[in-house]
Structure 1
Amino acid sequence: MKNVLVIDVGGTHVKVGSTSERVPLKIPSGPSMTAKQMADQVILGTRGWKYDNISIGYPGPVAHDRPLAEPHNLAPGWIDFPYQTVFQKPIRFINDAAMQALGGYRGGRMLFLGIGTGLGSTMVFDGVVVPLELAHLPYRKGRTYEDYLGNAGLELRGKKRWRRSVLDVVERLKNAFVCEYVLLGGGNAKLMKGLPPHVILGANSNAIEGGIRLWQAPEELKVPSPTTRNGGQRSAKGDRA
């Protein structure tokens, strides 16, 4: 199997790992980070690492292995940046939430919500990754899902009210998409308490695992279904978005 470098671009940190380096390197990001700064720091931080391919988890919509829109929580300049020229390796882009979802998928029909700086969302349906863009849809009082579930909502409303909002949105979206279970990821997922049985906390390693899975053939991505853990299996097909 080829060695994959995984770059998970977030609003607070860029996390970098690989098939052989599972403990990620963390690079501070934020609203002033450009694509060039990200690339320069990743190349510097991974000097000496050996890898064949690159997966980039991007905080926004992507298509044909390119970003389609500038990120909300980073500086502009990500759409037209020459990634292939700079990195000199085959690159696959995937929405960052989709990458985390693919890494934590355990079969069946799953909704993933990434609660961190903003709000990421993805559905995985019988192994097919379906990136979603729910963060900026209206939720309550003229505000969006991200306004309530992102960092701004947590800081404004406090942990107790924020947790209630997360659980409310989980139930609404689980029912809307007719999913069997919900995987919660992102930097603030660890703050949740009292989760119902159909809500699972994602592991920190999910993003790196998802980036590695992105380069695997569908038949290599078989995982046990949550409803058939000791029985049949379903295949997880990585859609590059």
Structure 2
Amino acid sequence: MKALVIDIGGTHVKVASTDHRTPIKIVSGEDMTAAKMVKQVLAATKDWHYDAISIGYPGPVEHDHPLTEPHNLSPGWVGFSYKKAFGKPLRFINDAAMQAMGGYRGGKMLFIGLGTGMGSAVVFDGTVVPLELAHLLYKNGRTYEEYVGLDGLKCRGKSRWRKSVLDVIERLKAALVCDYVLLGGGNAKLMKKLPEHVLLGSNANAIEGGLKLWENPNLPELQVARKGAKASRKRK
């Protein structure tokens, strides 16, 4: 089965497929709605052939649909009919969980995604559990995302931002009792001198994770991902 993979981010929507592994980048931002995303993705891939779609979404999901509106995009994502718009079978998964699936190397792994915001997920013995850590309080009444997301990078500078990233990594790794950390997202490449237990992820991880969703439709990761999203909603 050939799959189309859509990785939705606050700066870009990245699109790739089984036959086109190098992603196309579509500018997103605060004006990007679900309808605009679908229209632009379909236009960019009009000559591509695929049977199904994987969508990495920046927020909690359940039953192949987003549960909350994204923080860095325009509203209207929760009530949108994606299956009708695309006309193909599709699977939704948290974007951090999708990247984590693509970069997993065994054991208990924490994934932290550094982009416009901060994504997070844990993988344990091949089971992916999406997390919602970005908006928990970190320091001085501010959240993790405010320190290590894009706004934190712009406001505090690279040097102070890097120190915060390393501190967040150690805190969360210890709290979640993980063997190692996979660092992904567009700003991960700005890090220097990472500890031995921190791996720098590849941009291809999200694409590989999206393709894995259709390699075996009965993957237990999908069941756990949905349960994890439901739990996140209940906590709120």
Q: State TM-score, norm by structure 2.
A: 0.93
* SS in structure 1 of the partner of residue 92 of structure 2: strand
In 1, the alpha carbon distance for the partners of 2:51 and 2:118 equals 31
In 2, the alpha carbon distance for the partners of 1:146 and 1:240 equals 22
Give the match for residue 177 of structure 1: 176
* SS in structure 2 of the partner of residue 62 of structure 1: coil
Letter in 1 for 2:66: P
Contact 1:56 1:91 in 2 (8 A): yes
Within a 5 Å distance, the mapping from 1:26-45 to structure 2 comes to 26-45=25-44
Give the match for residue 136 of structure 2: 137
In 2, the alpha carbon distance for the partners of 1:184 and 1:89 equals 32
Q: Structure 1: which 4+ aligned runs deviate by more than 6 Å?
A: none
Within a 5 Å distance, the mapping from 1:202-241 to structure 2 comes to 202-217=201-216, 237-238=221-222, 239-241=224-226
Query: What residue ranges of structure 1 are gaps of 5+ in the alignment?
Result: 222-235
* SS in structure 1 of the partner of residue 215 of structure 2: coil
Within a 5 Å distance, the mapping from 1:179-194 to structure 2 comes to 179-194=178-193
Say if 1:55 and 1:29 are closer, same or farther in 2 by CA, change over 3 A: same
CA offset digits 1:114-151 (Å, max 9, x no partner): 01100000000111100000000000000000000001
State the Cα distance separating 1:218 from its structure 2 match: 8.2
Query: What residue ranges of structure 2 are gaps of 5+ in the alignment?
Result: 227-236
Contact 1:218 1:237 in 2 (8 A): no
Give the match for residue 112 of structure 2: 113
What is the number of residues matched between the two proteins? 225
Contact 1:92 1:240 in 2 (8 A): no
In 1, the alpha carbon distance for the partners of 2:155 and 2:75 equals 26
State the Cα distance separating 1:215 from its structure 2 match: 1.5
In 1, the alpha carbon distance for the partners of 2:20 and 2:225 equals 22
Say if 1:186 and 1:159 are closer, same or farther in 2 by CA, change over 3 A: same
State the Cα distance separating 1:217 from its structure 2 match: 2.3
In 2, the alpha carbon distance for the partners of 1:81 and 1:237 equals 25
Letter in 2 for 1:98: A
Is 1:47 aligned to 2:46, yes or no?
yes
CA offset digits 1:83-116 (Å, max 9, x no partner): 0011011010000011011010111100000011
State the Cα distance separating 1:216 from its structure 2 match: 2.1
Q: State TM-score, norm by structure 1.
A: 0.91
RMSD of the alignment, in Å? 1.4
In 2, the alpha carbon distance for the partners of 1:202 and 1:15 equals 16
Is 1:90 aligned to 2:101, yes or no?
no
Give the match for residue 72 of structure 1: 71
CA offset digits 1:40-82 (Å, max 9, x no partner): 0000000010001100000011001000000000000000111
Letter in 1 for 2:123: V
In 1, the alpha carbon distance for the partners of 2:28 and 2:217 equals 33
Contact 1:115 1:185 in 2 (8 A): yes
* Bigger share in helix: 2
Letter in 2 for 1:109: K
Give the match for residue 230 of structure 2: none
